[in-house]
Amino acid sequence: MHDRHAAYYTEFAERSALGMTGPEQAEWAGRIEREYQNVRGAFGRSLGGGDLATAARLCLGLWRYWRGGSHIGEGRDWLAGVLSARGDLGDAVGARVLHAAAVLAATQDEHETAYRLGGESLRRAEAAGDRPTTAQARNALGIAAIGGGDYRAATDHFQQSLAIWRELGQPQGTAIALGNLTKVALRLGDIAAADGYADQCLALERAAGNTRGIVLGLACLGQIRLAQGDAPGARAVLEESVALSRTLGDLFGEATALHQLAQAARSEGDEREALRLLTAALARRREVGDREDLAVSLDSVADLVAPGDPALAARLLGAAHGLRDRHRLPVPPEIAEQVGHTTVAVRAALAEGEFAAAWTAGRTAPLDVIVDQVLDLV
């Protein structure tokens, strides 16, 4: 591949970064996928040839695409290669690369890694006097804090990010901060605050035509409607979220909306449809390495099947516990009560010793084996 080709695909990647934040995201996702082999070649030639600046530009162009789940593991490898290469990117570019690496690490539930990368991004952004990247680094730190169960720290990081974006008059960043504050409020059970943040977030995302932001905002709004007892309202916004996520190839967003749709179906008494939706969400979460939410899916399926198959429910509870234990993941507060009730019910349904045996079997079994058992239910 000649240098002019590397230059062409670098420019393509940078244009895609803008495309993946506006109303043409679905079209850009398709373009990136069609050109991905060529961009891969440009990256390998740039990094291998010591052109660190070009390799960094390619990564900064593509990280929003990777965040949706497509090639996310490879994207993290590219970012790690840039960060470990000899040469100095400078504080401004280095901070942006570190921010992208932190977000992708948090997306795959490696929250300690994300916190380390986000902290270094913040340090270098402040050294460069780069206010937008400072706000982005705060956002990455907040996401990592949510994953680690430190909701007070997460709220603080997001509030600081929001203040910077408002100071700069940047609606896109403002919407991101509001969306993440919605997530924290939901974790804390503050539905009124979550509803307020979500409304502001969605208004900004719709005005900008930011499809991915709309997907995430609708998923949060669906969870809010469920908490308010409005299953039909939840279903309406969640079905829109699923449809939009599929146009983008956003596997994370699709899985989130499918999981919430399952809760809506169950609240209306359709347990067969709830199981179908839960298993669809679970399959997506395994595909993209979303460990935290995969554990939530396992717990939810356990709760659903417990009356008819308590032994399977015990295995699923054990598998979810093992997954969290291995990756230091907290039980999200919004499902902690459900997990406790399911565990009590399953213990009562099984003979002495059976629960412990089934739970241990689930905890120690290969995760793929457990997931395949769930997929076989539908």
According to DSSP, residue 365 is labeled S
100/86 Cα distance (integer angstroms): 19
141/20 Cα distance (integer angstroms): 22
Per-position DSSP letters for 205-244, written without gaps between them: HHHHT-HHHHHHHHHHHHHHHHHTT-HHHHHHHHHHHHHH
* Cβ-count burial 148-157 (b if 16+ within 10 Å, e if not): bbbbebbbbb
Examine residue 264 and state whether it is found in any structural domain, yes or no. Answer: no
At residue 1, the pLDDT reads 41
* Structural domains in the chain (count): 1
At residue 59, the pLDDT reads 96
pTM for this prediction = 0.85
354/347 Cα distance (integer angstroms): 8
Examine residue 80 and state whether it is found in any structural domain, yes or no. Answer: no
Q: Are 133 and 156 in contact (CB under 8 A)?
A: no
| Closest C-alpha to 118, from 145, 138, 132, 133 | 138
Cβ-proximal residues to 329 (8 Å cutoff; 6+ apart), any chain: 109, 111, 147, 291, 292, 295, 323
Examine residue 305 and state whether it is found in any structural domain, yes or no. Answer: yes
Examine residue 95 and state whether it is found in any structural domain, yes or no. Answer: no
At residue 2, the pLDDT reads 44
154/362 Cα distance (integer angstroms): 32
Examine residue 299 and state whether it is found in any structural domain, yes or no. Answer: yes
Examine residue 131 and state whether it is found in any structural domain, yes or no. Answer: no
Range of the domain at 354: 290-378
At residue 4, the pLDDT reads 60
Per-position DSSP letters for 199-215, written without gaps between them: HHHHHHHHHHT-HHHHH
For the chain, where are the alpha helices, taking DSSP H only?
A: 3-19, 25-48, 52-67, 72-84, 91-107, 111-128, 131-147, 151-168, 171-187, 191-208, 211-227, 231-248, 251-267, 271-288, 291-305, 310-327, 333-349, 354-364, 367-375
Long-range contacts of the stretch 241-246 (C-beta < 8 A, 24+)? 241/214, 241/215, 244/211, 244/214, 244/215, 244/218, 245/215
At residue 70, the pLDDT reads 82
* Alpha-carbon dihedral 130, 134, 136, 140, rounded to 10 degrees: 150
Residues of the chain with pLDDT under 50: 1-2
| Closest C-alpha to 216, from 189, 185, 244, 235 | 244
374/354 Cα distance (integer angstroms): 20
Q: Are 263 and 186 in contact (CB under 8 A)?
A: no
For the chain, state the CA radius of gyration: 21
Examine residue 104 and state whether it is found in any structural domain, yes or no. Answer: no
Q: Are 105 and 114 in contact (CB under 8 A)?
A: yes
Task: List, for residues 55-100, the tens digit of each pLDDT value.
Answer: 999 999 999 999 888 899 999 999 999 999 988 899 999 999 999 9
Examine residue 222 and state whether it is found in any structural domain, yes or no. Answer: no
